[in-house]
Amino acid sequence: MTAHNPVAKVWECSGCGDPWPCRTRRRELTATYMRAPASLVTYMSQCMAVARVELPDVPEGALHARFLGWIWW
C-alpha cells in the first residue's frame, strides 16, 4: 500500500506534498504496470481527465506532461 496517493480536488501527493503523481508514485506505478504499459497509460489518462475538471486553471499541455509525459514504453 502506498502513502503517495492523490489528494482530491488539488492533485497533490498525500505522502510528500508534491504534484501527483510524484516521483515515488511514478516509480511504484512503473513497477506495478511493468507488464501492462497500455494499462498504465489508460489509468493515467483517466486520472488526467478527472484532474482536467478539478484543475481548470492548469493548461492541458501541462497536465499531459504531468500525467502522461513521464511514461516510457
User: What pLDDT sits at residue 2?
Assistant: 81
Number of domains, the chain: 1
The residue behind cell 501527493 is 13
User: What pLDDT sits at residue 48?
Assistant: 98
Find the domain containing 49 and state its range.
Answer: 1-73
Q: Is the pLDDT of residue 1 over 70?
A: no
C-alpha cell at 9: 480536488
Q: Which tens digit of pLDDT belongs to each residue from 7-55? A: 999 999 999 999 999 999 999 999 999 999 999 999 999 999 999 999 9
Q: What is the pTM of this model?
A: 0.92
From residue 48, alpha-carbon distances to 40, 59, 68 in Å are 12, 12, 8
Please list, in sequence order, all residues whose beta carbon lies within 8 angstroms of the beta carbon of residue 27, skipping any fewer than 6 positions away: none
Q: Which tens digit of pLDDT belongs to each residue from 50-73? A: 999 999 999 999 999 999 999 986
